[in-house]
Structure 1
Amino acid sequence: MKSRELEKSLTKEYIKEQFMLLQDRICSRLEELDGKSKFHQDLWDRAEGGGGRTRIIQDGNVLEKGGVNFSAVHGPVSEMMKKQLKLDGNEFFATGVSIVLHPHSPHVPIMHMNVRYFELDSGVHWFGGGIDMTPHYVIPEQASLFHQGLKDICDKYNPQFYPEYKRWADEYFFIPHRDETRGVGGIFYDHIKINSEGEKQMMLDFAIDLGDAFADLYKAQYALGKDKEVLPEHTLWRNLRRGRYVEFNLVHDRGTAFGLKTGGRIESILMSLPKMAGWEYDFQVKENSKEAQTLSYLKRYVDWIK
């Protein structure tokens, strides 16, 4: 594994710069994939310190709505942050990139990714992030392809990453009130504390590799679904599954809840929501239908790689 300029001092400014460049590369590749729409950028400042670049793409050939956010914020550690994140420090710095894509086609999945770095003036610092996929229709072979791609990246760094981070994703991306997972999972990790410069470089490299793989992972899923016929019942089901996505993000996602409670930028926080979603009262799927099959796969701890 080739390290990225290990001789450089791994300062928060350097990590911020790497995440900004990652956002640029991801946006460029997604615009190439979509072939029509371009990202609109909003620059914003945070009153307490820092700011970010929110980029949104809409009404494209592939993407009905997508967002690729970058932020780098800093300031005093609030009482809420101390309570919720159990922080031991007075000042913090946080930077990261987050992505959510909602395609037009019901046969192309929703995909989410984020990578982030957090640092306290006490000297504690850590990385977090992950990628997960939410198909409207679960096809095991496509889920396997996605998970294999993630495992290949993880295995470059540590063979324990994939099984550990997959389980973490299974437990995190779960909707308890529905007793179903948000999708087919992926990997998720958080508060990965650093004990040496070598570990810090490794976890930064891992985050950047995940980000750079995102467009390829999505392109592969798009290629498998783009030519399938879309019927009205498929669009209805797509919107219902989007509704489940909204439920998770607004009710259970810790990042969304924390951002809203701490006065974060609303447009950036809620960019993860689809342009349109649906809820049908007491909707029942037909027995042995593709919709019923999809629901049967929305379980935790499925071994997608056979």
Structure 2
Amino acid sequence: MTASVSDLPSGAAEAQKAQAAAWFRSLRDRIVAAFEDLEDRHTSGPGSELPAGRFEVTPTSRANDGGGGIMSVMRGGRVFEKVGVNWSEVHGTLQPRAQKAMAARGVPGMAEDPRFWASGISLVAHMRNPNAPAVHMNTRMFWTPHAWWFGGGADLNPALEFAEDTAHFHAQMKQACDAHDAGYYDRFKAWADEYFFIPHRGRARGVGGIFYDDLNTGDWEADFAFTRAVGEAFLPAFVPLVDRRRERAFGEAEREAQLVHRGLYAEYNLVYDRGTKFGLETGHDANAVLMSLPPLAKWI
């Protein structure tokens, strides 16, 4: 893949990096609050007998170079069996393997100067009720001395699919895309369908969403605005689905389907996910990188 990159805007890089990192942090704070509110509101149905879940917040750091972040994980909640909402801001020098991968994607100047900076939010939620879909979302900015770009997206991963839930989630993603470019939704939906495919299983890991990377149109403000729109679309896309399904009864068959589906999710993240590979190769906290893995899964 060739990265869509261009020269940095003159004189603005540090301010832009600070602005992006602060916004990713604010989005993390709002999502954490919304998820804890879901826990408080779940007072009937499966799981309601449990204490309302709360996030455990842990600072993270990198073994190499500088920066770190915040790992926020909730386990054993009423609604969320496990959910992580992580924020990071890291910088340093890419290790040879990561440097080679970036150069292969067409990022200019990587061979001569492997310095980088990156910030973003990454979220994965595994639900207690099998009727409620698991979900992933992330948005990020990446910078090198020669280029900058944005990436991210969100995809829905139900063990038990409801057509109306899939339609709602995609409609929210499309609305976010259409406000910025009429071609974004079709392009980024197709990219998600390709990216979140599990070749060795011959199937997708879920019902899709949008995915984009290497976004640099030459207009930093426009690309950052689109990335914010993707992040802002997440709660309206996901929370109504949880509210529809969290009180729905389920039995052993539904739980079995959920655990098997989680196995697919774990396989994808460990074998194919580019973010997992990058985080581990650049020395970020392994627990934060692997927080996406489900608490329980099953293979048959």
TM-score (norm 2): 0.86
Alignment deviations for residues 117-174 of structure 1 (CA, whole Å, 9 cap, x no partner): 001112x100000000001112222211111111011111111110000000000000
Matched with 2:160 is 137
Matched with 1:34 is 39
Q: Distance in 2 between matches of 1:255 and 1:194?
A: 22
Q: Which runs of 5+ in 1 are unaligned?
A: 1-8, 281-306
Q: Distance in 2 between matches of 1:38 and 1:216?
A: 21
Aligned residue among 190, 197, 202 for 1:174? 197
- Whether 1:82 and 2:99 are equivalent positions in the alignment is yes
Offset, 1:258: 2.6
CA-atom RMSD in angstroms: 1.3
Matched with 1:149 is 172
Q: Distance in 2 between matches of 1:212 and 1:25?
A: 10
Q: Distance in 2 between matches of 1:68 and 1:102?
A: 12
Matched with 1:188 is 211
Which has the larger displacement, 111-120 or 25-34?
A: 25-34
- Whether 1:160 and 2:183 are equivalent positions in the alignment is yes
Given that 1:25 and 1:212 are in contact with CA atoms closer than 8 Å, whether structure 2 keeps it comes out as no
Number of positions where the alignment pairs a residue of Structure 1 with one of Structure 2? 268
Offset, 1:246: 0.5
Alignment deviations for residues 7-47 of structure 1 (CA, whole Å, 9 cap, x no partner): xx652112111111111111111111122212111112224
Given that 1:30 and 1:215 are in contact with CA atoms closer than 8 Å, whether structure 2 keeps it comes out as no
Q: Distance in 2 between matches of 1:153 and 1:262?
A: 31
Q: Distance in 2 between matches of 1:16 and 1:175?
A: 31
Offset, 1:181: 0.3
Q: Distance in 2 between matches of 1:91 and 1:188?
A: 25
List aligned pairs for 1:247-262, cutoff 5 A: 247-262=267-282
Matched with 2:129 is 105
Detail structure 1 runs of 4+ shifted over 6 Å in the superposition: none
- Whether 1:50 and 2:70 are equivalent positions in the alignment is no
Matched with 1:226 is 246
Matched with 2:292 is 272
Matched with 1:6 is none
Offset, 1:204: 1.5
Offset, 1:228: 2.1
Given that 2:99 and 2:114 are in contact with CA atoms closer than 8 Å, whether structure 1 keeps it comes out as no
Q: Distance in 1 between matches of 2:264 and 2:208?
A: 14
Q: Helix, strand or coil: the match of 2:179?
A: helix
Q: Which runs of 5+ in 2 are unaligned?
A: 1-11, 41-51
List aligned pairs for 1:276-291, cutoff 5 A: 276-280=296-300
- Whether 1:60 and 2:81 are equivalent positions in the alignment is no
Matched with 1:207 is 227
Matched with 1:283 is none
Q: Distance in 1 between matches of 2:202 and 2:137?
A: 23
Q: Helix, strand or coil: the match of 1:11?
A: helix
Q: Distance in 2 between matches of 1:218 and 1:26?
A: 11
Q: Distance in 2 between matches of 1:250 and 1:84?
A: 17
Q: Distance in 2 between matches of 1:127 and 1:218?
A: 22
Given that 2:95 and 2:281 are in contact with CA atoms closer than 8 Å, whether structure 1 keeps it comes out as no
Larger RCO, structures 1/2 (Cα 8 Å, 6+ apart): 2
Q: Distance in 2 between matches of 1:222 and 1:93?
A: 35
